[in-house]
Amino acid sequence: MTMVMLSVVGARPNFVKIAPILNAIRPYPEFRSVLVHTEQHYSDKMSASFFEELGIPEPDFSLGVGSGTHAQQTARAMVAFEQVLQGCPADLVLLVGDVNSTLACALVAAKSGILIAHVEAGLRSFDRSMPEELNRVLTDQLADVLFTPSPEAEGNLLREGIRSERIHFVGNVMIDTLVAHLDRAVAKAAWRKWSLPPGQYAVLTLHRPSNVDHDETLIEFIGAIRALQEDVPVIFPAHPRTAGRLQACGLDRELRGLPNLRLVEALDYVEFLSLLCRSQLVLTDSGGVQEESTYLGIPCLTLRENTERPATVNAGTNRVVGIDAARILAAARTILSGRVPPRTIPPLWDGHAARRIVDVLRRALHEDAQPAAKA
């Protein structure tokens, strides 16, 4: 038997998650792999360079979804993906993460009667105001096979009525990619490019609309960073959305004038990982950066009121500090003083999650067993 597996990516975090899966499935001729890029992220720094760096093959289909409101992105992805399925019948649609493209393609696949596998299933912030939370919950309800990255994710799914036989704890595929590229990242020594002392600088990332689209919130963050850079050098690779907002608010000039802050463009994967792995402190609103810093043992402050990745908090590396400047600064200075809790790596964050995902799919194929009926 041959399984036609149609994998969907749409944004930068998806590329990091799909790369090890495509690599792990390559040796098995019983799978025919088809890659669809919805192009929800379409700039070079957010898309093309990642394909090259991570060894992802050229997409078989590029949908040109682009930017827009959540409804616009979701609707355009649904229409374009339906056309793909009409011309390329698939046995399985493999989805990663929680962006709008993930949900859009899950809806189309489910209505087309095609099996769905969701990688990174079960993560919950329990904050329905987050678009990603809605995407996660709905995609998991539509999926036939759910691959979880951490133990608490299974409990979330079971509470939502999903049967245990559909759930497979496989670990974190983002860590697979990190492990595969860590040596290259260390050798790149990106900290030298910006004259940063290794182990004595902070990395900042901001991109969530709830943080950067509101002037008051963005100004609060910048107030914290203005004070923090007096204590430690800070490098701030600005997501294109964030860079635009900083410019619109007139904050970019102020940041460029701060003596101990480096405001730079969004970075390629390996260059950013290189910065991350020799930092003393990370401040972020990114789920992926929370996970990467946890594996690396770098203290992380999450600039949100919640996280869908509590495994990073339980591991001792991550602390959710919210958006108040005084609280952020106090937490950062605690870390800079050397007061950090013991740290661990969550179970199965070992660089082999993709292999476990492929093993589950191969067993299903060779046993000629359909996934269990949906709850």
- Please give the pLDDT value at position 44: 55
- 181 tagged catalytic: no
167 and 189 assigned to the same domain? no
270 and 135 assigned to the same domain? no
30 and 160 assigned to the same domain? yes
201 within a domain of the structure (yes/no): yes
- Please give the pLDDT value at position 369: 47
- Please give the pLDDT value at position 240: 87
281 within a domain of the structure (yes/no): yes
Q: What's the one-letter identity of residue 61?
A: F
Question: What is the full DSSP assignment across 14-68?
Answer: HHHHHHHHHHHHTT-TTEEEEEEE--SS-SIIIIIHHHHHHTPPPPSEE----S-
371 within a domain of the structure (yes/no): no
Distance (Å, whole) CA 355 – CA 269: 22
Structural domain harbouring 262: 181-336
19 and 162 assigned to the same domain? yes
254 and 217 assigned to the same domain? yes
- Please give the pLDDT value at position 40: 80
| Per-residue burial over 226-251, b = 16 or more CB atoms within 10 Å of its CB, e = otherwise | bebbeebbbbbbbbebbbebbeeeeb
Q: Quote the number of domains for the chain.
A: 2
Distance (Å, whole) CA 241 – CA 227: 24
245 and 120 assigned to the same domain? no
- Please give the pLDDT value at position 375: 47
CATH for 38: 3.40.50.2000
154 and 197 assigned to the same domain? no
167 and 198 assigned to the same domain? no
Taking only the tens of pLDDT, the chain with its 375 residues reads 789 999 999 988 999 999 999 999 999 999 999 999 999 865 555 567 889 999 999 999 999 998 889 999 999 999 999 999 999 999 999 999 999 999 999 999 999 999 999 999 999 999 999 999 999 999 999 999 999 999 999 999 999 999 999 999 999 999 999 999 999 999 999 999 999 999 999 999 998 888 888 888 888 898 999 999 999 999 999 988 899 989 888 888 889 999 999 999 999 999 999 999 999 999 999 999 999 999 999 999 999 999 999 999 999 999 999 999 999 999 999 999 999 989 999 999 999 999 999 999 999 888 754 544 444
Does the pTM surpass 0.85? The reply is yes
45 and 153 assigned to the same domain? yes
372 within a domain of the structure (yes/no): no
73 and 161 assigned to the same domain? yes
Annotated catalytic residue, options 118, 181, 207, 352: 207
